[in-house]
Chain A
């Protein structure tokens, strides 16, 4: 530094250490100094425009404002993110883009939505996002869960709680509580196995017919009483969320994934032994009526 500054009159700070050790006092670079002044000016504008300084138990509100509708009246308040969010949800550009469609969907009947290609296109694109945010954690991104376990596949046309529009809407709105009692305490091991043989025979699997006959007596009799919910023909009952046992669709026992006859029997037997306890939460508090409507149409369309 000393050599660089030779020939210029550079001030020193005036301190001297060890006799002759001095410190130059070079001015700040111009660009740095002006940037600094600019931040000062920015701060002052910020203080004037936005809420900034604490004063007693309140603060300076600034002169910036946000206007939104509250109970039909126009409210103008000092700038704050909460009021800004309300304004954006009411009149923001994204909101306005969707608004016409949302109002149209809200006013339309389910038949009208399904038969209107324009409304269906909107429903698919909007509900896909709603589904991803709310439903996909259990039912999988495309409506197929990660594995057979607790959560029904929504892409097939089998519905535990009914596949008509009204039932699907009710399922989403109020949630569902699926319950099958555990028979492990009621039925001995050999009887559980017999019931499993009978249940698999309903869907056309090769089973030991002697065991299946014994299983049928338990299923259709007082001992098991399975027919109360699954019906005598085994086709299930939507009001109880009881599965149809005669089709190839399995939501709890992983029958399709079983390696052999023995594994299939074991899978079904385990369900009879342990029972089923599954819960779908209610979405009425999280989603509004129109969102539920969009999801209902979307979920039903997945199953066709």
Chain B
């Protein structure tokens, strides 16, 4: 078949295929090079996958649609630097599937909210934001304190993330590779075989929601919020270092 103007115009199937190819190019030339340009992801220490408890918290964050009002990407502008702290690095969301960058900020960016406020503050604030910030327009999330955390499928969730490239370990070999990369203490956390006990231990390690006797969704969400943006120690690097990657 000759690929003439007429043959494309009168052949709907061919037209669809060629249209898809044409519009894919725009996306592909922007996305594909990021996978092989060597400086896309900065080389920094400290970035690690989420622990089972943090990961469950992250699932709740997504379930509740926190991302519809909160971004997790501080941009390299002066005003953002002054308000939120160091701009976000690509490396900091390399284990996020999907990432929570976002561009819609009805509430503040949460990219560096970790350890900015106390656990008690987060619990009060999520339960009823106006208890601590009278002018807040954020909805109440009282069920987070009521709901027991369901962690029966946390190992499966970690397996699913492993498929897309998060280095959770199942075999001895994978575990040892994690010990090499993240140290023994963290590697234990990323062991899928020990997911349940790790989750319970971390829930007890700190008073996340003000009541250690119950394991609630609040525990998981606060544990997740408290780790956001805290993995990289920025005092180790000078500012020029990050500019070298762009």
Instruction: Count contacts between A and B, CB distance < 8 Å.
Output: 102
Point out the residues of chain B lying under 8 angstroms from A149, CB to CB.
Answer: 124, 131
Query: A89–B78 contact, CB under 8 A?
Result: yes
Chain B residues numbered 195-210 whose CB sits less than 8 Å from any CB in chain A: 207
Interface size class of A (residues with CB under 8 A): 35 or more
Query: A137–B132 contact, CB under 8 A?
Result: yes
Tell me if A223 counts as interface (CB < 8 A to partner B): no
Query: A80–B246 contact, CB under 8 A?
Result: yes
Of chain A, the residue at the smallest CB distance from B233 is: A285
Query: A138–B132 contact, CB under 8 A?
Result: yes
Query: B246–A94 contact, CB under 8 A?
Result: no
Which one of B9, B85, B118, B124 has the highest number of Cβ atoms from chain A below 10 Å of its Cβ?
Answer: B118
Tell me if B134 counts as interface (CB < 8 A to partner A): yes
Point out the residues of chain A lying under 8 angstroms from B207, CB to CB.
Answer: 277
Point out the residues of chain A lying under 8 angstroms from B131, CB to CB.
Answer: 146-147, 149
How close is B105's CB to chain A, nearest CB, in angstroms?
14
Tell me if B173 counts as interface (CB < 8 A to partner A): no
Cα–Cα distance between A141 and B246 once the two chains are bound (Å): 38
Query: B132–A80 contact, CB under 8 A?
Result: no
- Contact code string B207-244 (vs A, CB < 8 Å = 1, else 0): 10000000000000000000000000001001110111
Tell me if B115 counts as interface (CB < 8 A to partner A): yes
- Of A53-61, A162-170, A184-192, the segment with at least 4 beta carbons within 8 Å of chain B is A53-61
Query: B78–A88 contact, CB under 8 A?
Result: yes
How close is B171's CB to chain A, nearest CB, in angstroms?
31
Query: B33–A54 contact, CB under 8 A?
Result: yes
Query: B119–A89 contact, CB under 8 A?
Result: no
Chain A residues numbered 83-122 whose CB sits less than 8 Å from any CB in chain B: 83-86, 88-89, 92, 94-95
A141's partner among B77, B116, B124, B135 (CB-CB below 8 A) is B135
Tell me if A278 counts as interface (CB < 8 A to partner B): yes
Query: A281–B246 contact, CB under 8 A?
Result: no
Of chain B, the residue at the smallest CB distance from A73 is: B240
Point out the residues of chain B lying under 8 angstroms from A125, CB to CB.
Answer: none
Query: A70–B238 contact, CB under 8 A?
Result: yes
Point out the residues of chain B lying under 8 angstroms from A58, CB to CB.
Answer: 37-39
Question: Given A57-B37, A58-B37, A279-B118, are A146 and B238 also a contact pair (CB < 8 Å)?
Answer: no
Query: A286–B243 contact, CB under 8 A?
Result: no
Of chain B, the residue at the smallest CB distance from A141 is: B135
Query: A82–B120 contact, CB under 8 A?
Result: no
Cα–Cα distance between A15 and B134 once the two chains are bound (Å): 69
How close is A154's CB to chain B, nearest CB, in angstroms?
15
How close is A285's CB to chain B, nearest CB, in angstroms?
8
Cα–Cα distance between A51 and B246 once the two chains are bound (Å): 9
Of chain B, the residue at the smallest CB distance from A81 is: B76
Tell me if B81 counts as interface (CB < 8 A to partner A): yes
Tell me if A150 counts as interface (CB < 8 A to partner B): yes
Tell me if A145 counts as interface (CB < 8 A to partner B): yes
A146's partner among B29, B81, B133, B242 (CB-CB below 8 A) is B133
- Contact code string B96-140 (vs A, CB < 8 Å = 1, else 0): 000000000000000000011111110011000011111100000
Cα–Cα distance between A147 and B188 once the two chains are bound (Å): 42
Point out the residues of chain B lying under 8 angstroms from A15, CB to CB.
Answer: 6, 9
- Contact code string B77-89 (vs A, CB < 8 Å = 1, else 0): 1100111010100
Query: A71–B246 contact, CB under 8 A?
Result: no
Query: B36–A57 contact, CB under 8 A?
Result: yes
Closest 5 CB pairs of A and B: A54-B33, A80-B246, A70-B240, A82-B243, A279-B118
6 further interface pairs, Cβ-Cβ under 8 Å (given A70-B239, A89-B78): A83-B246, A95-B78, A133-B83, A145-B132, A146-B132, A279-B120
The interface of chain B, by Cβ under 8 A from chain A, is: 6, 9, 29, 32-33, 36-39, 75-78, 81-83, 85, 87, 115-121, 124-125, 130-135, 207, 235, 238-240, 242-246
Report 27 cross-chain contacts, Cβ distance below 8 Å, ordered by A residue.
A51-B246, A54-B29, A54-B36, A56-B36, A59-B37, A70-B239, A81-B76, A81-B246, A82-B243, A83-B240, A86-B239, A89-B239, A92-B78, A133-B82, A137-B121, A137-B125, A138-B121, A138-B132, A145-B132, A146-B131, A150-B118, A150-B121, A150-B124, A151-B132, A277-B120, A278-B120, A285-B235
